[in-house]
């Protein structure tokens, strides 16, 4: 736990140094220490061998000088030993341990028993000792006479500090080398981290910060070692997943809002329909009674002109109210469709023929465009004719005495029924509310606002849609778009039970 906390506070480069370079340096130091120990022993053995070689080089000449009794020759040979530069003192001791000849410092008197022991063994010997307060390395080699008997003992001394200095130099060099190696490894780790790891990680960190500040379209650029590239690709994949999820959530939310709006609209229309049906039912019978009595009163021949005019006005208003009642009944009607295959062009001709009998058609020019011969739909003829009649009547009211054109065309799998006028067009502010029940832009008393609502209900019942736009004649264009069935010659009449 404590190690994890400490690691969380370190930067990656410092963690690499602490957990890679330092342990590696210690391991190299441990291995180097073992190697240095071996090297120290080898160096010490080499220095001892140097002394032994000097002693053996002097052994035979000194033995001959002893045999011939030439002390001056012996002294000369002892001084020649200093030419090697590794000798502190060279001395020769007799059988009784007395100093026979010598050069340099470090002479020591040996006990007779030690001389005798060396002589009896006939071997050389060595030891570390102190002479006159100085630490020395002493090497002994027996000298023999002509008969091969022990005659004297050659002693060569060397400062023990020479050994220690050499060993200290080796240890110091190893420590310096180890320190330089640690620094080199640290530099390699830091530079390698910056180039291979730190740069790509900083780039990835900047990408994360950009996304965190709202740049959801930003994507990280994969770079660096395979693991960091894989991390960047994983980060981009996560962003893509989030984007898809957000888009799906937005789509579902939009769909839900649309369904809720449709549900509210359906409930509103249902409530309005029930109200309209009730009002139409309650007004239908009284209006019929008023119209019948006014008609009977007009049959009298003794009516004064003002009374006759009043009765005719009553009948006119009653007929207008009856038309409103019929529109209410049409809007409130929710009877199921009775679709069948029907040709569109004869249906449009019938709609124009009946529209020409409307009072609004006085002075207007109604025409059916060419095209659409043989085109059929699977639809309820009554509801579709009612919707088209309402659109034509709406056009006549919008363009009194103007030109009204009706047409049909097939676009792919869709059949488009259109009604054009050359009136003032539709106010953009009112366009969104065109198909709401009781909404009208006409003056009070000129319309109920139910005609387009009836059209909208009929078209939706057929699975179609309405498109409103600008007419080439300058007025408005209403298009009813329904699934096309085909041509009359290619479609068989469905069988009905």
Per the domain annotation, does 36 fall within a domain?
A: yes
- Rounded Cα distance between 114 and 97, Å, is 9
The residue out of 155, 174, 193 marking a domain boundary is 174
The pTM for the full model equals 0.43
Which of 488, 479, 483 is CA-nearest to residue 373? 488
Per the domain annotation, does 260 fall within a domain?
A: no
Strands 365-368 and 403-411: parallel
CATH number (domain holding residue 104): 3.30.450.20
Which domain, by its residues, includes 38?
9-174
- Rounded Cα distance between 318 and 368, Å, is 33
Per the domain annotation, does 269 fall within a domain?
A: no
Per the domain annotation, does 298 fall within a domain?
A: no
Per the domain annotation, does 472 fall within a domain?
A: yes
The residue out of 146, 174, 202 marking a domain boundary is 174
Q: Say what the pLDDT of residue 272 is.
A: 66
Q: Say what the pLDDT of residue 420 is.
A: 93
CATH number (domain holding residue 475): 3.30.565.10
> How many other CB atoms are found less than 10 A from the CB of residue 450?
23
Q: Look-up: residue for tokens 């957990």? A: 19
Number of domains in the chain: 2
Which of 265, 352, 327 is CA-nearest to residue 452? 327
Per the domain annotation, does 256 fall within a domain?
A: no
pLDDT tens, per residue, the chain with 497 residues: 555 555 455 566 666 676 667 777 777 777 777 776 777 677 777 777 878 888 888 888 888 887 777 878 888 887 877 776 667 788 888 777 778 888 776 665 455 566 556 655 656 777 777 766 667 778 888 887 777 777 788 888 877 666 566 667 777 777 787 778 778 877 777 777 677 676 777 777 788 888 888 887 888 888 777 777 888 888 888 888 888 888 899 999 998 988 887 777 667 666 766 766 676 667 777 878 787 888 888 888 788 888 888 888 888 777 777 766 766 666 656 567 788 888 888 999 998 888 888 888 888 899 988 877 888 888 988 888 888 988 898 888 888 888 999 999 888 888 999 999 998 888 777 777 777 766 666 554 555 566 777 788 888 888 899 999 888 888 899 999 998 764 433 434 334 33
Per the domain annotation, does 124 fall within a domain?
A: yes
Per the domain annotation, does 226 fall within a domain?
A: no
Q: Say what the pLDDT of residue 92 is.
A: 83
Which of 325, 377, 388 is CA-nearest to residue 354? 388
The residue out of 152, 174, 196 marking a domain boundary is 174
């Amino acid at each position: 736990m404590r190690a994890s906390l400490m690691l969380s506070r370190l930067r990656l480069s410092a963690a690499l140094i602490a957990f890679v370079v330092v342990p590696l340096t210690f391991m190299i130091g441990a291995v180097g220490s073992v190697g240095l120990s071996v090297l120290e022993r080898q160096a010490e053995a080499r220095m001892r061998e140097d002394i032994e070689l000097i002693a053996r080089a002097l052994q035979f000449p000194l033995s001959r000088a002893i045999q011939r009794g030439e002390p001056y020759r012996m002294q000369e040979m002892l001084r020649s030993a200093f030419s090697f530069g590794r000798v502190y003192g060279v001395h020769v001791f007799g059988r009784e341990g007395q100093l026979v000849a010598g050069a340099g410092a470090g002479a020591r008197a040996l006990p007779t028993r030690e001389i005798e022991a060396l002589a009896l063994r006939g071997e050389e010997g060595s030891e570390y000792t102190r002479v006159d307060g100085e630490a020395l390395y002493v090497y002994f080699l027996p000298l023999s006479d002509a008969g091969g008997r022990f005659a004297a003992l050659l002693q060569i001394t060397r400062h023990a500090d020479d050994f220690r200095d050499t060993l200290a130099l080796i240890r110091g060099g190893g420590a310096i080398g180890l320190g330089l190696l640690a620094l080199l490894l640290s530099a390699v780790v830091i530079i390698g981290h910056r180039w291979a790891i730190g740069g790509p990680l900083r780039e990835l960190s900047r990408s994360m910060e950009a996304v965190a500040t709202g740049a959801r379209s930003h994507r990280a650029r994969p770079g660096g070692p395979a693991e960091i590239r894989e991390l960047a690709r994983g980060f981009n994949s996560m962003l893509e997943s989030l984007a898809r999820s957000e888009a799906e959530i937005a789509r579902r939310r939009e769909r839900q809002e649309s369904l809720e709006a449709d549900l509210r609209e359906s409930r509103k229309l249902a409530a309005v329909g029930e109200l309209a049906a009730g009002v139409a039912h309650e007004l239908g019978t009284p209006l019929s009674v008023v119209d019948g009595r006014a008609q009977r009163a007009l049959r009298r021949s003794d009516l004064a002109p003002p009374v006759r005019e009043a009765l005719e006005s009553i009948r006119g208003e009653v007929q207008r109210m009856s038309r409103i009642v019929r529109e209410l009944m049409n809007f409130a009607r929710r009877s199921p469709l009775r679709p069948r295959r029907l040709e569109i062009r004869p249906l449009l001709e019938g709609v124009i023929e009946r529209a020409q009998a409307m009072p609004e058609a006085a002075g207007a020019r109604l025409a059916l465009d060419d095209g659409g011969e043989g085109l059929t739909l699977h639809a309820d003829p009554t509801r579709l004719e009612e919707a088209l009649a309402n659109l034509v009547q709406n056009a006549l009211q919008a363009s009194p005495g103007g030109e009204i054109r009706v047409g049909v065309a097939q676009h792919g799998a869709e059949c488009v029924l259109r009604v054009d006028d050359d009136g003032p067009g539709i106010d953009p502010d009112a366009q969104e509310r065109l198909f709401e029940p009781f909404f009208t832009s006409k003056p009070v008393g000129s319309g109920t606002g139910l005609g387009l609502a009836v059209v909208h209900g009929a078209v939706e019942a057929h699975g179609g849609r309405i498109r409103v736009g600008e007419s080439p004649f300058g007025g408005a264009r209403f298009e009813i778009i329904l699934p096309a069935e085909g041509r009359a010659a290619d479609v068989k009449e469905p069988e009905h039970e």
